[in-house]
Structure 1
Amino acid sequence: MDISSVKVLWPEMLTDGAAFLVLFFYHFHYARRVRSAPTKTSLGMANHLRQKWVRSIMSENRDILGVQTLRNWVMASTFLASTAVLIDMSILSVAFRPTEKMVMISQTLNFIGSESEMLWLFKLMTLTVNFFFAFFNFTLSIRYYNHAGFMIDIPNEDPELTDGAVTEVINRGALHYFLGMRGYYLAVPLTLWLFGPLWLLAGAVILITVLHKLDRTI
């Protein structure tokens, strides 16, 4: 790579690096927050409430309510998984048959950095991997919710099946649902990345600002 190419790429590399570091450190901090003070985070509080819900369902033998709720969660995960894979197929069709007009539109708003078509295709493939990540997490959440549907119907006299064991399975499904939704959220800055690194950084900052309000309870 010659010096002129480096001069063109270094502003984009710095901006892209800053955007991904912001996203990484926020989620790293949030993961530690969930472990250290779970009730102050939306994810930790939801896990706590699901434990109380499972205990209520199993102790009062409200099996129908439990199965209906799990069915709703399965339907939501199924819809989001199907949508993710459809978006992936659409992105791959664009990546395999890119048109000059599409590339030109994205480069029009690219104020700094490279205008290489190969880099544009790399950004598309990154977006594809992100939606595949969302798809697999939603399918795993369906798997755990289906297991919980069988477990929650078993009479609570069974000593091997406690409400804690059922809660753990449901919370695993909920964690994969949470990760799948993160994939959808991350698609916003990654899509903006197609128009240039400044758009990626702006999208990352806006996303973190919104998530900061959504991810905490107080």
Structure 2
Amino acid sequence: MEWRSCYLDMVLVPLGFLMSIAYHCWLWHKVRTQPLTTIIGTNASGRRFWVSAMMKDNDKKNILAVQTLRNTIMGSTLMATTSILLCAGLAAVISSTYSVKKPLNDSIFGAHGEFMVALKYVTILCIFLFSFFCHSLSIRFISQVNILINTPQEPAFIVTPDYVSELLEKGFLLNTVGNRLFYAALPLLLWIFGPVLAFLCSVTMVPVLYNLDFVFAFRSGIKQQGKADQVLNGCRDCESV
């Protein structure tokens, strides 16, 4: 059977995506079962306590709450703006007739046909569009929280800290999904230069994300606390003797 240049694209690029999808499925399982071992679960728990504290003492902390949420909205706005600008640039490249859509040189592995080149740019464009969509929805939810967190706490009022926490968690969840889609576009950008670079980038991103998503200090803190308790108990035994 004759080896074709498109075989690398058909094997390496889907394999890299499957590795990334498998990692995020495992991360979602860890967040659901052991949330305090992950950055996502730990931050979500801290945000719930933060909302409760802000609404409980709203007269003194209302400005702090608004400024904190404003910084989060600015971050989501920056990512949404970057995504839509990249979408506009990719759309201009796709619709152009210049040689930028052609392969850089013949040393790049993978398929060089017009269909494959168009598929690469369209896939990257769709990823950035979904990232923009998630960040836009995140801004919407966090803006609602920015208003509702300063509502008066009356017994008959339906806006409770739990409701505000749910809105805030939806906003941060969409922000996380938008960021992960933005990260997923990096291997696709390298796919323009060949499937080998895209696969290597996907393989490299998994351990990088693993070190960013899991709380190793939490486990080491438990061990250090256990050792400290043992030392403290030993000192007490010495003093008693």
Q: Same fold (TM over 0.5)?
A: yes
Which string of whole-angstrom CA distances, capped at 9 and with x for unpartnered residues, describes residues 189-211 of structure 1? Answer: 11011111111100101111210
- Please say if 1:200 is aligned against 2:198: yes
Q: Tell me the residue number matched to 2:177.
A: 179
**Aligned counterpart in structure 2 of residue 189 of structure 1, from 187, 190, 193:** 187
CA distance in 2, matches of 1:102, 1:125: 12
Structure 1 counterpart of 2:42, one-letter code: M
Which string of whole-angstrom CA distances, capped at 9 and with x for unpartnered residues, describes residues 108-152 of structure 1? Answer: 4522x3211220111111000111111011110110011111210
Identity %: 31
Contact kept in structure 2, 1:109 and 1:196, CA below 8 Å:
no
CA distance in 1, matches of 2:144, 2:154: 19
CA distance in 1, matches of 2:17, 2:146: 38
Structure 2 counterpart of 1:23, one-letter code: S
Contact kept in structure 1, 2:103 and 2:112, CA below 8 Å:
no
CA distance in 1, matches of 2:94, 2:31: 38
More deviation, 55-64/153-162: 153-162
Across the aligned residues of Structure 1 and Structure 2, the Cα RMSD in angstroms comes to 1.6
Offset at residue 98 of structure 1 (A):
4.5
> Relative to 1, partners in 2 of residues 1:109 and 1:182: Cα closer, same or farther, differing over 3 Å?
farther
Offset at residue 17 of structure 1 (A):
2.1
Residue 104 of structure 1 aligns to a residue whose secondary structure is coil
Structure 1 counterpart of 2:168, one-letter code: I
CA distance in 1, matches of 2:176, 2:100: 36
- Please say if 1:216 is aligned against 2:240: no
Contact kept in structure 2, 1:70 and 1:145, CA below 8 Å:
yes
CA distance in 2, matches of 1:109, 1:137: 37
Structure 1 counterpart of 2:111, one-letter code: S
List aligned pairs for 1:1-150, cutoff 5 A.
7-61=4-58, 62-105=61-104, 107-111=105-109, 113-150=110-147
Residue 103 of structure 2 aligns to a residue whose secondary structure is helix
List aligned pairs for 1:160-175, cutoff 5 A.
160-175=158-173
Structure 1 counterpart of 2:93, one-letter code: V
Runs (5+) with no aligned partner, structure 2: 217-241
Residue 43 of structure 1 aligns to a residue whose secondary structure is helix
TM-score (norm 2): 0.83
Offset at residue 12 of structure 1 (A):
2.6
> Relative to 1, partners in 2 of residues 1:60 and 1:103: Cα closer, same or farther, differing over 3 Å?
same
CA distance in 2, matches of 1:108, 1:76: 40
Runs (5+) with no aligned partner, structure 1: none
Structure 1 counterpart of 2:178, one-letter code: G
Offset at residue 102 of structure 1 (A):
4.6
> Relative to 1, partners in 2 of residues 1:98 and 1:195: Cα closer, same or farther, differing over 3 Å?
farther
Q: Tell me the residue number matched to 1:157.
A: 154
